[in-house]
Amino acid sequence: MANIRSAEKQRRQAEKRNERNRAGKSRLRGALKKSRAAVAGGDTAAEILSTGFAEIDKAAKRGIIKKNTANRYKSRLSAAAKRGSGEKK
């Protein structure tokens, strides 16, 4: 238990940040799962990419994931959409 007021405040702030990040990460994982399922189901690529990319970009902007991680997710999602729609690489 913290004895110093500033340490107590830091603990409270960390709890809030952790909760916010956990919710954002969960939301991102759900969106990615839906996007991947849509690709597997054969939906059109434009719908999948727009919703998936938006969620990935939000997470990166908020600092939940790093920029390069976001780019990697988007790259893999677009590659899967291309493969799923029958287009060549």
Q: Please report the pLDDT score of residue 44 as a whole number.
A: 67
Q: Please report the pLDDT score of residue 14 as a whole number.
A: 96
Mean pLDDT of 62-87: 87
pLDDT digits (tens, 9 = 90+) for 17-67: 999 999 999 999 999 998 888 888 877 667 778 888 999 999 999 999 999
Q: Is 2 in a helix, a strand, or coil?
A: coil
Q: Please report the pLDDT score of residue 80 as a whole number.
A: 87
Q: Please report the pLDDT score of residue 88 as a whole number.
A: 47
